[in-house]
Amino acid sequence: MTVLVIYESMWGATKAVAEAIGAGLGEADVRVVDVGEAEPVVPGDVDLLVVGGPTHAFGMTRASTRANAAKDHPPVLSPTGVREWLETAKLPAGLACAAFDTKVVTPDLPGSAGKGIDKSLRRLGGHPVAKPTTFRVHGKWDGLAEGEAERARAWGAELAATLS
């Protein structure tokens, strides 16, 4: 099984979730790729596509929300977002896919980047194998909430089980 995990991360927490999901996928050939380095055409050998990013302003990030977030603390990773990647992406028809997001613990605001990612993947012809999942972070650059890396690994294992 070949899995492609594409993530957007400004300060590393969403990257840590993506890597933990990848680790949970077990024996699969897993490629974890920053969205800024992801090709818009998903290769035909991919059996599962997992896409995730942070929740900004109740949904997927935009250039303006990334710029606003970066005012306090410069980002360390790609300024490109999942939203932009999805606007140009091409998937093999019926490709198994899953979406995730990260969201701050406090304040607990509504909205989900994962739901928007899931909707976009469906529109591109993807076949979701799981509901969009949210992983919690402490603020913008304070890392994952306790237990979230383990939960991401477990979710990766659940995703692998859907394809075996």
Domain boundaries, the chain: 2-163
For position 60, what pLDDT does the model report? Answer: 83
**To which residue do tokens 């932009």 refer?**
84
The residues pairing with 30 across neighbouring beta strands, listed in sequence order, are: 3
CATH architecture observed for domain 2-163: 3-Layer(aba) Sandwich (3.40)
- Rounded average pLDDT per 10-residue block, the chain, 164 residues: 94 94 95 96 97 87 77 68 96 97 87 96 98 91 92 98 88
For position 11, what pLDDT does the model report? Answer: 83
Reference 52, options 92, 1, 3, 93; nearest CA is 3
For position 89, what pLDDT does the model report? Answer: 98
